[in-house]
Amino acid sequence: MYAGFFTNHARTRSQQRGIPPLIEEWLDEFGELEYDGHGGVTRYFSRYSIRRMERVFGRSPVRKMSEFLGAYKVESSRDSSVITVGYRRGRVRRK
């Protein structure tokens, strides 16, 4: 799946926060989508997406990358450019 290009802000934040490219690919392929109502789409790992990854890759590789499974990325809903990336501090709250 094509995720679009990274803005300068997103590229800088990805480097600062140490999010590996593999995690960004997993977010594109397995991450849950949540529209924010302001033109952005947040991709994050839910327990269901983690289970899907475990079925595809096995438990061991996913467990080794567990420190990065709190990562998220925000994309523009217009051109799917990546606006920012980071780590969740708490759970994702839904309306």
Is 3 a member of any domain? no
Distance CA 72, CA 31 (A): 8
Domain with 12, as residue range(s), is 8-87
Is 21 a member of any domain? yes
Is 66 a member of any domain? yes
Is 94 a member of any domain? no
Closest alpha carbon to 76 in 11, 3, 1: 3
Is 14 a member of any domain? yes
Task: Give the percent of the chain with pLDDT over 90.
Answer: 56
Tokens standing for residue 22: 């593999």
Is 2 a member of any domain? no
DSSP 8-state code for residue 66? G
Q: How many domains does the chain have?
A: 1
Exposure b/e, 19-40, CB count within 10 A at least 16 = b: beeebbebbbebbeebeeeeee
**What residue type is assigned to position 26 of the chain?**
W
Model confidence pLDDT, tens digit, residues 22-64: 999 999 999 999 998 888 999 999 999 999 999 999 999 999 9
**What's the pLDDT score for residue 92?**
62
**What's the pLDDT score for residue 7?**
84
